[in-house]
Structure 1
């Protein structure tokens, strides 16, 4: 099995990669199209030079690295915004596609702490809807995972025809082998964790500029949100 997990940034995506990476039957890959995305767009992201040096920059060649390690499954963490027009997607048609979403207000607030005031294109919602419409797949919301990690992971595993493994609920603190070279800038909080954080509080307050991006992003989020695997708590 090859799982392509699509999300935007600041979206529980690294925790999900660690969760699957903690299974003995999975190998994980971290954002393999990042260098190609930076090369094509020319964007000045933190650690840009290190990312370009560490990864394949030709998008047509990136899928050559999507090779399973013997009998192990492959988990690929992908950023939706990395898949700019012209990047190959035929490889994904043979994958189990999962789409991870998070309320845009939380994404915008978290992203702004690490880089700059984001644009809609930086946080991936428009592109994620396009990917879902093109590839189909399963949708999960990060809030549901944080509310009930085991319950939602069990639901996800059932949806993709994979046995649940309790190892998915915990990992060792610190960097992991699957981390991309950009981890020192982006993964500070997750490196202190040993499992999924609990439910989040109220939505963050946003600046006027951030509020405008939120208004742009919400229709895309809501379109995916209505199709998500729903969390049903047992009483």
Structure 2
């Protein structure tokens, strides 16, 4: 019951400010048609209800399962199995991420189908999957995250020089949308589960950083997509 109350308050604190700002602008500056403004208010209520149910589902189901999967994979002591399933889970959870679908739909509309929605989603998902595996590899072999970040962003800037300008902003937005409400809890829980089982690993030190690494993958994959399409 306490979890439900906290989730409701969290959503209210997230949605209420933008609703109040738009309402204030409505009656001072923008003066939208009343029908459109009412649609906005109804949409805000629906978004709030949807977010409450969504976050409850994440807290009740996804986070515990992600941590248990990470723990179970680590206990197998099979490096290939751990990295393979980390890749698969990274791909699957990204495909299910609502933010990724919103971005791909908008890009498909703006580009008039030149950048297909399915291709963009797949490239972003593959990028996340590869870098989630790399992040788990870092936890297992205690590789310093600063090295991986330096190499990753070095490749980003290198590829950006050979990619059509249209794809550069799309690639960075693709990295941003992977830090959504579905991907973040699951991947973080996966990393914490892996770190909690391996001897000598600290959950606070080694279990985090996955999202920072995972967000590089979509940037690189979309830049590569730009090189191919360009």
Please tell me the TM-score bracket, short chain as reference: under 0.3
- TM-score, with normalisation over the residues of structure 1? 0.22
Give the TM-score taking structure 2 as reference length: 0.22
Q: Higher strand fraction: Structure 1 or Structure 2?
A: 1
